[in-house]
Every structure is written in structure tokens, then in C-alpha cells.
Amino acid sequence: MDLAAQSRSVAGIVFILVGMMAISVNDMLIKALSGDYALHQIVFTRSAVGLMLTLAIVRMEGGFAILRTQTPWLHLLRGLMVVVSNMAFFLALAAMPLADATALFFVAPLFITLLSAPILGERVGPLRIGAVAVGFLGAVIMMRPWESGDSAAASRLVLLLPVLAALTYAMMQVMTRKLGARTPASALAAYIQGMFIIVSLGFFVVTGDGRFAEGVSDPGIRFLLRAWVWPAPDDWPVLIGLGVNSAVIGYCLSQAYRLANAATVAPFEYVELPMAVFWGWAIWSHLPGPTVWLGMALIAGAGLFVFLREQQNARRIARAEVRGRY
């Protein structure tokens, strides 16, 4: 690896670490606000602030001309995948522990591996298929299907929400790999923030008065259907902070995957898992039980194995190409 490539890899790792820290704080704050505000109100406020900051970065990176694209429908589809992923995950946060939801979401790399074969035409060998199976086994263990619905920490439907979030996130990542990273990071982030604003305003038009939340006891559904309210003075700094944090997340993640190879950057996403455990313990006095720890270990171990295996395959292909030139 030459010096320039090494510098890009280091910068990519730094960006992904900052992005993961920001995501961890974001999830913690949204869970803390989920009992008082509607999800779409939080998303709208967060994205409105985030979009203003992102557009300022767009101006510095080349001006608003970089927002022009020849593939608007593909960016629209990519944005919808991110919105569905975030909405599903945030709904899960309202009804289940932060660490549990985060661990289940990390089946996303396993979905990426499965989708890369039919969509990208990549060869997925038996070792990676085996790792995917182990990771999904970890997710099943965390869902504890042998327990009755009354004794489970969350309903089966709620436990599937982080998995849905992981699937749509994986579809977005595969689509990004198929399109190629030719768009500046700030423009990619601006498209996503704009999509969040459009979707949250749509929810406001339909459910913003809270009429569909009347008589609903499920915390996740109430989080989705609750009426918009004027924020309390003490909550304004939190909501604005979420917006700033959102801009940091969008830029750092886009920049990380633009600067460095995905196989180099992606394993560092797992630092979010211990952060989620920390916030759950520090704020809600919750620590995962033995079954959840086992599921988390299987998911994280399988995901890391997949990433390392992809990196080994990429090096093997590169060496073969070099030998073929001589």
C-alpha cells in the first residue's frame, strides 16, 4: 500500500470512529426523548438542523452545483432505504434496551454478504455462508423463541424491527457499492437529510394531531403516532444537538467509505456495540443478560469474520492480477 492510500485508510478509520460515536449518542438521545415526542417530530427537527449544517459543508466542498445528479431516482431509492432503516430502529428503541436493539441491527453486514451475490454478482464461499448462519443464529438466540410472549423482554414484532432496519440498511449499502462513490460526501448527506424531512412532514400531515394514538398502549406505536407538541425549554438544546450530531453522522460515514476500502472501515463500526451497552448501563441501569451476551458475541464475531474474509479475498485477487501482468 502506497503512502497516499495508507493516509486515506487512516482518515477513513478516524471518520468511521467519530461517526460511530455520534450514532451512539444519537440513539441514546432519541431513546431518552421517545416518551415525550413523536418520532417524526424528532426526525424533522434533527434533520432540519442537520440539513442547514450539511448545506454549509456543501458550499465549502464546491457549491450547490455538486448537488446535481444524473441518477436522481437511484438517490431517491437510496434515501428511502435509509429512512425505513432509521425509522424501524428508532421505533425499536422506544420498546427495548439500547444494547439489544444495536446488537440485532449488526446482522446488517450478514445481509450485505447475502445480497452481494445476486445483486453484485460477487462469489460468496462456504466459509462466509457459514459465518452468516452463525450470525443469524445469534439473532435467533437474542429473540428467545422458546420463551412465552409474556416473559420476553419485548414482543416478537418489536424484536424484528432492528432486523428490518439492518435489511434496508444493507440494501442501501449494496446499492451504494453498485452505483459507485462519485458523489461528494456532503451531497450524499444532504440527499439523506432532505428525504428525512419529506417523510417526517408526510407523517405530520397524516398523524401529527395524534388522533391515531388515542387508546394505544404499545410504546413503539405511540412513539410513531403521538401528536407533535411544542418542545419544553430544557429539550431544545437536546433537539438542536441531535441535529448537529445528525450532520456529523451523515458526513463522517459518507466520507469514511469514500476515502477507504469498505473492508478496512466496516469492522470499526462494531465499536458502537460497547458504547450502546455503556449508555444502557449509565442512563437506564440496564445490562444485557447471559443470553443476550451470547447472541451479541455470535453476531459480532460472524460480522467481523465476514469482513476479514472479504479483505483476504481482495488481497488474493490483487496479487493474482499483479502476477498476471508479468
> What are the pLDDT digits (tens) for 103-158?
999 898 888 888 877 776 767 778 888 888 999 999 988 877 666 555 455 577 78
Taking Cα atoms as reference points, which of 319, 318, 316, 309 lies closest to residue 125?
Answer: 309
Task: Examine the pLDDT at 293 and tell me if it is beyond 60.
Answer: yes
Task: Collect all residues with Cβ–Cβ distance below 8 Å to 307 and sequence separation of at least 6.
Answer: 109, 263, 266, 267
Determine the pLDDT at residue 127: 84
Q: At what angle do helices 98-105 and 126-143 cross, to 10 degrees?
A: 160
Distance from C-alpha of 101 to C-alpha of 284, rounded to nearest angstrom: 14
Higher-pLDDT residue of 112, 59: 59
Residue with cell 437529510: 193
Determine the pLDDT at residue 27: 93
State the cell numbers at 126: 462456504
> What are the pLDDT digits (tens) for 144-197?
766 655 545 557 778 889 999 999 988 887 776 665 556 777 787 888 889 999
Q: Grade residue 254 by pLDDT with cuts at 50, 70 and 90.
A: confident
What DSSP line would sit under 71-111, residue for residue? -HHHHHHHHHHHHHHHHHHHHHHTTS-HHHHHHHHTTHHHH
> What are the pLDDT digits (tens) for 2-37?
677 778 888 888 998 999 999 999 999 999 999 899
> What are the pLDDT digits (tens) for 216-242?
888 888 898 899 999 999 999 999 999
Q: Grade residue 323 by pLDDT with cuts at 50, 70 and 90.
A: very low
* CA 261 from centre of chain: 18
67-103 per-residue burial string, b: 16 or more CB within 10 A, e: under 16: beeeeeeebeebbbbbbbbbbbbbbbbbbbbbbbbbb
Query: Rounded to the nearest 10 degrees, how much is the dihedral formed by the CA atoms of 260, 266, 268, 272?
Result: 130
